[in-house]
A and B are shown apart, each in its own frame.
Chain A
Amino acid sequence: MSVLIFVAKLIAGGALLCLGVLLALLYEGVDRIISARMQRRFGPPLLQPFYDVLKLLGKESIVPRRAVAWAFNGAPWMALVTALMVFLYIPMGALPPILGSEGDLILITYLLALSAVALVVGGFASGSPYANVGSQREMVLMMSYELPLALVVSTMAWLVYRRGIPGPAFSLETFSSLSLWNTVGWVGALGLLSLLLALLAVVPAEVGKVPMDIAEAKTEILEGLISEYSGRNLALLKLTYSVRTLALCAVVVALFFPWSLGKAMGLSGVGLFVIDFVWFWIKTFVVQTVGVTTVRTAFGRFKIWQAARFYWIQVGGLALAGMLLLTLEVAIY
């Protein structure tokens, strides 16, 4: 029996990862088109990210003479695999996560951080001054956004615990079983809103998009971290960025918008699973459009110290305010 479950999980996981890659590239194509329309441009074809990745996969992968080859070649795999693994822990609509019992929200934040660390390692290993500057910037950026991220995650878990929602406090399944918005009054709603905004502010830095693409900064340090990569390695890195974008948006949806469409329509069984699964990706798309596409179109790039100050003071303050408001909420009711 357990072997059967293991095999089923293996198949489902593989299918999910393939779907994740395809959806990530597809959403990136849509993101580029929407961004282009916002700038009154026509934009690339929808499948352009697929073309890019396929083209790069067929090209020669050059390792610089001064690079540490194993770290240089290993880092893209590490970054992609860790980013992809996030999908295995996210409950999608009514479907339980494939590795739900083995991991929780803390693991997800670590996986995302590990993927960024892998990029940094690859950057340092490439031995280029641009990549070196990019890696340093990425590290500073990580140090800046981890604090608000940790605040948001721990506050949410604490709220789940205090509200007595069944299930482990840090597990994503617990969050998706019941919308937190329904369990709080207006003070708590305000607190949740500020947590949501803080998390959305972290998204661009986590996925390396304008205004927080400081580590890549095309016009400043020639793509920084990834400036020495080419061919297959670059394809993997491109995939990593798309997958991280999608994964993080999915996490935001699972945390804050677990509303089920299927239940509202009174469905059950397979219909509920299918409808909620599609509904989940639609919600993810909306979050990505608001949190990534719009933001990256509306802003220019920050400097590294501006970004660090933004995350420590403004976003950190917002997360802290959310935490205090939720504490107040729990104390009142």
Chain B
Amino acid sequence: MAVGEAKTYKIPIGPVHVGLKEPITTWLEVDGERIVDIKVRPGAIHRGIEFMARERNPIQVIYLAERICGICSFAHIESFVRAVEDAASISVPKRAQYIRTIMLELERVHSHILWAGVACYTFGYDSAFNLGLLLREKVMDVLEAVSGNRVNYGVGTIGGVRRDITPEAAAALEDMLSYYRREFAAFYEVATEDPITKARMRHVGTLPPEDAVRYCAVGPTARASGLRVDLRWSSPYEAYADIEVTPIVPQDYMGEVYGDVFDRFLVRVLEVYQSLDIIEKALSGLPEGPLMAEPKLPKLLALLKAADGVGWSSIEAPRGDDAHIVKLTKGDENVTWWKVRAPTYANIVSWPIMFRGQEIADAPLIVNSIDPCISCMERALVIDKRSGSSEVLTKEELLKRSREKTRRLMGR
């Protein structure tokens, strides 16, 4: 090695790492503390959910869709059922639309507060982390009051919702709104005015607007880079057509936009307030009427069996644009084809831009800054380590491998 030549070495972050929520490997090439290059290697948590769906009917697939992710589970249901409704031309009653909106926003509150807490945890700010988890508890209680479950709510179904917002649930919601308007200020202060948060988050993991456009960032990540990207605003669905939603971008609040982790933090914290406003409006304007387009399950299944075509839906999940594409074939009871594109998939490609030139200490924070949901993102993609080539698995190939594995496990 020549004198003065920079010697780099590689550090793996993941697949199991305290600072990450889920398994993904990012190989950092570092020179001292500075990150020169980054390689992302997913593939640790692929579960073959889309493949499983092809042997189930749409109603059963709802429960699969719900389990893609534990945090944005309703967003995945919502996107899936909208795609199916699109394919089968089912129209949803007004009251169900409002209840779906409320559920989506509750989930956004829950997801954003959890993320903000975890982000603080990644730089050792345990007090803010605990404060975040404490504040999140209220929305979890309300989710339980509305749906009966704290995780995987089981509210959405094709053509409507399965749970009504009862007067007790409405009271719990009102209570939650006043609770957050009162208590969330503490966390808002931690997030925006605390010198420690600022020192650790400002100018870290910067994603300039032009790169955000080039790499198709979505959701809060794109909005933090100053892009006005919000599906609730640009293509309103459900009750958002009646409720005005404007995308929250940092330049409207701070006067300038850096596109760094701090801006992402700010956007998410402000969106919690926005969600509270939306919930309040949806709750006050909750129309009367049926909850489902077709309450009788055999009739609905027959309707879906007769449907033919491809349905598409894209909604604004807490982390961004969550797209589902569903194909239903006439006479086939099962979902013929289903494709999920989770927001993380769109955001993860901008990691190299965020990482280059940063320090190792920032790595978990940057990884977390897009709020990655790896199990949402990982689809059937196999990367051959030796040749570096990748292939998409076909149904036959997956089936073959699964049988081989079963035989291997059973010792045959």
* A124, B359: Cα distance in complex, Å: 20
Instruction: Tell me if A300 and B11 are in contact (CB < 8 A).
Output: no
* A217, B126: Cα distance in complex, Å: 12
Instruction: Tell me if B124 and A301 are in contact (CB < 8 A).
Output: yes
- Interface 1/0s, chain B 16-38, versus A by CB < 8 A? 01110000000000101100000
Choose among A133, A210, A222 the residue that contacts B124 (Cβ–Cβ < 8 A): A210
Asked if B120 is at the interface (CB within 8 A of a chain A CB), the reply is yes
Surface stretch bound by A, among B193-201, B243-251, B304-312? B193-201
Asked if A66 is at the interface (CB within 8 A of a chain B CB), the reply is no
* Main SS at interface, chain B: helix
Residues of chain A within 8 A of B9, CB atoms compared = 129
* A304, B19: Cα distance in complex, Å: 18
* A130, B9: Cα distance in complex, Å: 11
Asked if A306 is at the interface (CB within 8 A of a chain B CB), the reply is yes
Instruction: Tell me if B364 and A303 are in contact (CB < 8 A).
Output: no
Please provide the chain A residues from 281 to 333 with a CB less than 8 Å away from any CB of chain B in the complex: 297-306
Instruction: Tell me if A302 and B19 are in contact (CB < 8 A).
Output: no
Residue of B nearest to A41 (CB): B130
Instruction: Tell me if B11 and A219 are in contact (CB < 8 A).
Output: no
Choose among B121, B122, B134, B200 the residue that contacts A40 (Cβ–Cβ < 8 A): B134
In the complex, the number of residue pairs spanning A and B with C-beta atoms less than 8 Å apart equals 80
Instruction: Tell me if B124 and A217 are in contact (CB < 8 A).
Output: yes
Choose among B127, B197, B359 the residue that contacts A298 (Cβ–Cβ < 8 A): B127
A300 in contact with B33 given A39-B131, A219-B19, A219-B121 (CB within 8 Å)? no
Residues of chain B within 8 A of A300, CB atoms compared = 120, 123-125, 128, 196-197, 200
Choose among B10, B123, B131, B360 the residue that contacts A301 (Cβ–Cβ < 8 A): B123
Please provide the chain A residues from 38 to 72 with a CB less than 8 Å away from any CB of chain B in the complex: 38-41
Asked if A218 is at the interface (CB within 8 A of a chain B CB), the reply is yes
Asked if A148 is at the interface (CB within 8 A of a chain B CB), the reply is no
Instruction: Tell me if A220 and B363 are in contact (CB < 8 A).
Output: yes
Asked if A213 is at the interface (CB within 8 A of a chain B CB), the reply is yes
Asked if B361 is at the interface (CB within 8 A of a chain A CB), the reply is yes
**Which of the listed residues A210, A220, A306 has the most CB atoms from chain B within 10 Å of its own CB?**
A220
Instruction: Tell me if B196 and A219 are in contact (CB < 8 A).
Output: no
Residues of chain B within 8 A of A210, CB atoms compared = 124, 126
Please provide the chain A residues from 199 to 218 with a CB less than 8 Å away from any CB of chain B in the complex: 210-211, 213-214, 217-218
Instruction: Tell me if A218 and B359 are in contact (CB < 8 A).
Output: no
* A295, B32: Cα distance in complex, Å: 29
* A39, B126: Cα distance in complex, Å: 8
Asked if A221 is at the interface (CB within 8 A of a chain B CB), the reply is yes
**How many chain-A residues does the 8 Å CB contact rule pick out?**
29
Choose among A38, A137, A218 the residue that contacts B18 (Cβ–Cβ < 8 A): A218
Residues of chain A within 8 A of B362, CB atoms compared = 303
Instruction: Tell me if B127 and A39 are in contact (CB < 8 A).
Output: yes
Instruction: Tell me if B17 and A304 are in contact (CB < 8 A).
Output: no
**Which of the listed residues B10, B123, B124, B130 has the most CB atoms from chain A within 10 Å of its own CB?**
B124
Residues of chain A within 8 A of B128, CB atoms compared = 300
* A14, B173: Cα distance in complex, Å: 63
Residues of chain A within 8 A of B121, CB atoms compared = 219
A211 in contact with B126 given A39-B131, A220-B363 (CB within 8 Å)? no
A219 in contact with B364 given A39-B130, A300-B123, A300-B124 (CB within 8 Å)? yes
* A270, B364: Cα distance in complex, Å: 56
Binding site for A on B (CB under 8 A): 9-12, 17-19, 30, 32-33, 120-128, 130-131, 134, 196-197, 199-200, 359-364
Given contact pairs A129-B9, A214-B361, enumerate 20 new A-B contacts (beta carbons under 8 Å): A38-B127, A129-B11, A137-B33, A213-B124, A219-B18, A219-B123, A219-B124, A220-B360, A222-B17, A222-B18, A300-B124, A300-B128, A300-B196, A300-B197, A301-B123, A301-B124, A301-B125, A303-B361, A304-B33, A305-B359
**Pairs A-B, 9 closest by C-beta atoms:** A300-B125, A301-B124, A219-B19, A39-B130, A300-B196, A303-B361, A129-B11, A219-B122, A300-B123
Binding site for B on A (CB under 8 A): 38-41, 129-130, 133, 136-137, 210-211, 213-214, 217-222, 297-306
